[in-house]
Amino acid sequence: MKLTVHGGIGEKGRTCIGVEHGGTRLLLDVGVDTSARGAAYHPAITRAELERIDAIIVTHAHEDHVAALGWCLANGFPGRILMTAESAVETDATLAAYATSQERALAKEANVEIIAPGADFALGPIAISTGRSGHVVGGIWCHLSAGGRSLGYCGDVVPDSPVFAMDALPPCDLLLVDASYGPDRIPAAERGSAITRWLATHPQGAVLPTPLSGRSIELIGLIETPIAIHPSMREALAQQIAAPAWLKPGAANVLSARFAEALLWEEGQPLPAAALLVDDGMGLAGPSKAALAQARRERHPVLLTGGIPKGSPADLMLAAGKADWLRFPTHPTLPENIALAAASGAGRILAHSCDAATAALLAADIPKLVTGMKPGDTIEI
């Protein structure tokens, strides 16, 4: 198998990995880089290359993994689209925020083939298996094998989520780990405790911008103070909580109870004395855009808990001292990535969702990590 980097390795965002074997060509994820403009916003792949792609596999419906789907269709991609049923439902909302209206319409009209996690299938000579990623409802990792060689692609994973279940990845020759958190070693329990302490010291409430899928559910399970959400989030959050196959045992009951108590907030209303969860993009899109603007005007507390796109309203507020940041663990810490690499038995490791400097730092603790790769580079498996 030959792997081609179209995005997400040597950089953060627009995750897109090409795999080719025996005349079959596929893409693993097609994300955008919300911090970029122009050509760097979409995967680094030409129209001629897209016209030869047989299939796109989407691991989950976050913008850095799916928001370029309509762009691929608009630029000649003629093949199959595969993702879980839950990701298929969420994709349109993601494209509404991060794609053009034409791209969104093309994606809505496209036929999506549903992947059942744990089921095996094949694309040409490439055998594929998947499992739950622990990152979001509907999120999967992928294992591809052909010609006696194999590739493990984590997508975004959380090995020890308190809410979502993750299945063990099979052994592989080359493993792509989710390095979003770089060398961070702080365990999830410690991060969660810091967030609950911060919220307890802000009884007037706070705005927490967060993705609609994944972290929002984990925060609902974590937060002990009153919670509020935007009405547009209610249906999607309810669907995620009502998907016990993706959750750890007992998590659905806790989440349902907390969700039932959530207040509702809409634009134009006073910010509530509660932890206000609003999606998405750290003020770039969705109800977080209005909520962060109002919080800035009114000097209302803001707590950022995830990755912050450069130049986003959240980024500007943090730089100005008008927001605090405590990262909530929805990606692997360094010890978790070390464990994933060791368990895979892989002779080579690649780090996705981080820049080249971060990958170089990780190589000290993950000796088999290949550094220096960037969009346009290839590697034989």
Tell me the per-residue pLDDT of 46-72, one tens digit each, with 9 for 90 and over. Answer: 999 999 999 999 999 999 999 999 999
The hierarchical CATH code for the domain 2-183+330-380 is 3.60.15.10
- Alpha helix (H) ranges present in 304-355? 313-319, 334-344
CA dihedral 103, 108, 109, 112 (to 10 degrees): 110
Domain ranges of the chain: 2-183+330-380, 188-325
Residue 306's pLDDT is 86
Given this structure, which CATH class describes domain 188-325?
A: alpha beta
Provide the strand spans (E) within 158-316. 174-178, 206-209, 227-229, 263-264, 275-278, 303-304
pLDDT tens-digit map of 348-379: 999 999 999 999 999 999 999 999 999 999 99
Pick from 51, 91, 101: nearest CA to 73:
51
Structure-token pair, residue 311:
């130049």
Mean pLDDT of 92-104: 95
Residue 310 predicted with pLDDT over 90: no
Mean pLDDT of 24-41: 95
pLDDT tens-digit map of 219-240: 999 998 999 999 999 998 999 9
Residue 156 predicted with pLDDT over 90: yes
pLDDT tens-digit map of 256-306: 999 999 999 999 999 999 999 999 867 888 899 999 999 999 999 999 998
| Cβ count within 10 A of residue 214 | 27
Residue 213 predicted with pLDDT over 90: no
Phi, psi of 69 (to 5 degrees): -60, -50
Residue 24's pLDDT is 98
Place of tokens 């959400």: 229
- Could you tell me what percent of the chain has a pLDDT over 70? 100
